[in-house]
Amino acid sequence: MTEEAAYANPILSGFYPDPSICRVGGDFYLVNSTFAYFPGIPVHRSRDLVHWELIGHALDRPSQLNLDGAGHSRGLFAPTIRHHEGTFYLTCTNVDAGGNFIVTAKDPAGPWSDPVWLEDAPGIDPSLFFDEDGRCWYCGTRPAPEGERYPGNWEIWLRELDLATLRLTGEARGIWRGALRDCVWPEGPHLYKKDGRYYLLIAEGGTGADHAVSVARSDALSGPWEGKPSNPILTHRHLGSGAPIVNVGHGDLVEDGTGDWWMTLLASRRFGGDFTVLGRETFLVPVVWEDGWPVPSPGSGRVETSYPAPRLPPDSLPAESACEHFEDPSLDPRWIFLRTPRSEFYSLSERPGFLRLKLLPATLRENAAASFVGRRLRHGEWQARTSVEFVPAADNETAGLVLLQSNDFQYRLELARSPSLSPSRTAGRSQARTPSRTVISTADRTVIRLVVAEGGADRVIAERPFPGDRAVLAVESRSGELCFRFGATPGNLELLASGVDGSVVSTERAGGFVGTVIGIFASGDIFASGDIFASGDIFASGDGFASDNRADFDWFEYGPL
């Protein structure tokens, strides 16, 4: 790129938090946290630090990644990618299923090894540092060994890693507890060496508005470590809730081969009010060195929406198709699942040109692997549409389009069976509270309904009869409000609901660490609390059973407005 050119932030839009970066020759590689989504840890490659190509996932086999029962914001925390003598090393934490681990690969596109689990490695956010003497050091964050005086009273710690056995060896020592007095959540540590000095870059302040990047340095890994007097070196905590970019933190440094330095970091953008729906995204800021300290975003000290481009040869990528017709033998790698798939719940070959989702008992309200495929929302104003063929064969069966933040915060635009309101049938189900396999009767009808979960039981916002077996489902977001439509063809859509509150699927409402995903699903679970009678009624799901039904999706379209 020429010096006159500019790039726009974020460099990876949508739910791409906790970025870690390394350079090998003229190529840069970037990884991010994925929490309860599968496959785990996307690997992107770039030659100019601006255009990023998804080349694979580090954890794409069920044998590598156990996410069974994981909450949306559990699973995989804060990976780090490094390269040493022809091998790529990736460290990460599976917080509920094994702890800290290392996987390795010769090619970052894969395959990656099965995890090597690290013994006696408490805490989270592992990182590796390869020193000039050939030794390798493991760096992570853990609770204060003497006991936490307050929540988040953790410390950065260091221990040598034997590269031959991938086992920790020698003494573990705490080296820093963050820049501020009574610092909370010092985490995401990365070590570097420049001009004979060691540098430790960390995040602190938690993952919300007080998030920040701080730095310390030392003449020896064993310390003492000196924090930069002007820490934190990058944060937006002082800008207030109205700032367009918030939650700034979790940085990693890279030298680009020309002598210029850069920092990847996470931050969130606000759209339509004081809410962040896209989650934490990956940003890039320039770094200069002054008086032996890194200075991110010199001149402003804030994350800007654009900067002069790196002095690297320009790269380009083919434009992403807005519409997927499911004609390839495999899914585009941008599609993700929720938790580790333990069965073959989808097919691209049973009906060529369609993505077939097989109904599973699990619903999107449970900590289970549902029949679901999704993609990250990446824009503030956007639209999504899909065409689905589906005939619900029982009261419990649904399929459609979902806007998913978590199990408890979501919108579903779905085809379902609205059962007969026969008093005897309703009473019987209420008393028995057991799964129903009621055969379709003339009193039953197919409906399209909009369902919201916002921290409690599902609630039907709107419902309309739909006599056909093929529907186009559509949703768009403008200025923080959602509009849902449906119809038999794309050119003949009918309004179902407008002015719907988009903040329901924001981090501020839902909590947690993930961004919102748009996707498609099919479920054969039973509504244990009885029938749904009318718009505004509340129901819950559970006690599911298997179904041999399926939903066939002809195409899926997503893009900005």
Q: What residues are labeled active site?
A: 18, 187
Residue 431 is inside which H or E element, if any? helix 423-432
Q: How far is 234 from 281, CA to CA, in rounded Å? A: 16
Nearest to 118 by CA among 93, 101, 140: 101
Say which residues have a Cβ less than 8 Å from residue 383's Cβ, sequence separation at least 6: 474, 475, 476, 477, 557, 558, 559, 561
**Region for residue 257 given its phi and psi (left: phi exceeds 0; alpha: psi -120 to 50; beta: otherwise):** left
Residue 127 is inside which H or E element, if any? strand 124-130
Q: Cβ(388)–Cβ(425) under 8 Å?
A: no
Residue 430 is inside which H or E element, if any? helix 423-432
Neighbours of 437 (CB within 10 A): 11
| CA 224 to chain CA centroid, nearest Å | 37
Say which residues have a Cβ less than 8 Å from residue 57's Cβ, sequence separation at least 6: 39, 40, 41, 42, 43, 110, 333
Q: Cβ(228)–Cβ(293) under 8 Å?
A: yes
Phi/psi for 428 (5° steps) reads -60, -45
CA triplet 452, 334, 189: central angle to 5 degrees? 90
Q: How far is 163 from 91, CA to CA, in rounded Å? A: 13
Q: Cβ(487)–Cβ(471) under 8 Å?
A: yes
